[in-house]
Chains A and B, each alone.
Chain A
Amino acid sequence: MAGLTLRNVGKRYGALSIIKGLNLDIHDGEFLVLVGPSGCGKSTLLRMIAGLEDITDGTVAIGNRIVNDLPASKRELSMVFQSYALYPHMTVAKNLAFGLQNFKMPKAEMERRVAEAARILQIEKLMDRKPRQLSGGQKQRVAIGRAIVREPQLFLFDEPLSNLDAELRVQMRAELASLYARLGTTMIYVTHDQVEAMTMASRIVVLRAGKIEQVGTPQELYTRPQNLFVAGFIGSPKINMLQAKVDRASGEAVATVPGLPAFSLPTLPSADDGLTLCVRPGAVHIGAGEVMTQGTIRLVEYLGNESLLHIALSSGQVLLVSDNGKTSYRSGETISIGFDRSDLHYFDAAGQRVEPIQNESRLQ
């Protein structure tokens, strides 16, 4: 087991820069999840760590050892691919043992590990089959099995569950989580799926265009997104964003948002020209809140345990409101909605988070 240190890591294809000077410390035994929009460089970064892509700038260290020039075969890590990448011409048993043979492991030890992995993943009955005789979920188990028999110091996963159907994905997610609990090995996990990221991660790294936007625990990212991008990216349904003008004429900072009544702002370190206010759909209440307004329901998405209402304000902006789903609403209805100012996130014109200065009086 080992931690991982990235220092000014960069990747260029000719003039095109894909990864731009990343710094990141991944702790020993951590489950780190990489998220970000498509094409932001998640796979590239993971493959650089694996040794499948050259590192054009900076250094990657596993433990204390800089591995830039170490080929993938010597990095003592395992990787699970989105496409599974099982060797089509080998049986499941051979697929599992293949890596161990390459490391010249004694036969008895090899057999013990393969049997152990098969038991953990419940694929004992499949050992003599070829990959094409397996279902997607079974293939995924074998792929994971192939990774764990190696007992590596580091696991890499590139969207391992994205080819599975929804139900299997939930099941495999739970199995991966329990596998992590059992092994405690450092894992780096790339995903598109919010739920996977939130439920499994010790920490999440949000990447955009080859740069880190924020690193933190799922809770930190959700409750204190450092910038507008992270605020918009983490959390589903998506956070509501309101453009506000700040008026200081009366001596106190007052926010005017089209479609909402003006309301006073807490003291912000730098709240001048433009301010973006964000509020999660779950923090907007029907018929209650410090700041209240009227809106017309445009669309009701009933999801069972909640309803997602699309509510148009008089300015035309649509807010997402998540309701407990117990009352039924019809589109076209006009209702009043509101939120508490403590649930607002504030971002300056540059999109960076600004924290209200806490201990001053906030009520008008």
Chain B
Amino acid sequence: MLTSCALQRDRRERNGRILKHVFLIGVSVVMLYPLFWLLASSFKPENEIFGSLTLWPSSFQVENYTKGWTALPMSFTTFYINSAIVTVLSVIGNLISCSFAAYAFSRLQFTGRSFFFALMMMTLMIPYHVVLIPQYVQFLKLGWVDTYLPLVVPRFLASEAFFIFLMVQFFRQLPRELDEAAMIDGCSPFKIYWAIILPLSLPAMGTAAIFSLIWTWEDFLAPLIYLNDIKNYTVPLALRLFLDQEGQSAYGQMFAMSVLSLVPVVIFFVLFQKLIVRGIATSGMK
């Protein structure tokens, strides 16, 4: 009696599980289909891209990639170098300045700390569009337009408050006695930051670095405003150029370059999935 009941429940549970898997796999297919379609189209001959649901290209057009790479007035080599410069500098700036601020907010005592923390949290809400115009006017006066300075310098001033918040969340979990023991061991506040807090916060730093990297890599608005000369363009701006030439219908090449622009992000996602997932779960972000 009892066992048959349990058996029945077992079977019901297993059926439920299978149903769930079927459903989730269905959702996964829908979720991934656009990405695979993009990948497939990047290898297809021009006339096959539209009008068929088949993903497999009849012949692999590697030229989409080779031609696409140089289809624009500048080669993508330039755009990738530009993007890499901006991204690397931004990530470094973010990590240094945000970890400084987070250290101050989470580990140091000073008058006005909670006031400034509240201000910092409020800046999380401010849309970039609101500060954009005065910033643009200012950077223009400084002669910084069409350089990477407007994209990079703010990062060294902890302009992405989100990362401060992420690091504060993490730093706060470290036991306060560690700082105190280090203090008694003769450490200055900077030494504590450098020798105790940072080494113990590598996961948080890693999460911040990855997000900072991906977001800067994908950033469109700021480069759109500050970069005019095509030789300074970052990858997203270059991709947009394809759209402007749409009439010439080089879809295959456009998709090929789109795929390439996503490759770094996907690689980082695959490599650092754990850090990314944990970062979002603990701090809650975009």
Contact = CB atoms under 8 A, between A and B. Distances in A.
A99 interface: yes
A23 B10 CA distance: 72
A74 B188 CA distance: 10
Contacts of A171: none
Interface stretch (A83-91, A289-297, A332-340): A83-91
A47 B179 CA distance: 13
Q: Which one of B175, B180, B199 has the greatest number of beta carbons of chain A within 10 Å?
A: B180
A99 B196 CA distance: 12
Q: Which one of A75, A102, A150 has the greatest number of beta carbons of chain B within 10 Å?
A: A102
Contacts of A8: none
Interface in B148-206: 175, 177-178, 180-188, 191, 195-196, 199-200
Interface in A79-106: 79, 81, 83, 85-89, 98-99, 102-103
B180 to A, nearest CB: 5
A102 B177 contact: no
Given A77-B184, A102-B191, A146-B185, A88 B177 contact: no
B181 A73 contact: no
Interface in A215-268: none
Nearest to B185: A99
A50 B184 contact: yes
Interface residues on A, range: 20 to 34
Contacts of A79: 180-181, 184
Q: Which one of A75, A83, A87 has the greatest number of beta carbons of chain B within 10 Å?
A: A87
Interface string A130-149: 00000000000000001000
A52 interface: yes
Given A88-B200, A98-B185, A72 B191 contact: no
Interface string A32-53: 0000000000000001001110
B200 A85 contact: no
B185 A102 contact: yes
Closest 9 CB pairs of A and B: A99-B185, A102-B186, A85-B177, A85-B181, A72-B183, A73-B186, A89-B199, A81-B177, A79-B184
11 contacts: A50-B180, A51-B183, A73-B184, A73-B188, A78-B184, A79-B181, A81-B180, A87-B182, A99-B184, A102-B185, A102-B191
A316 interface: no
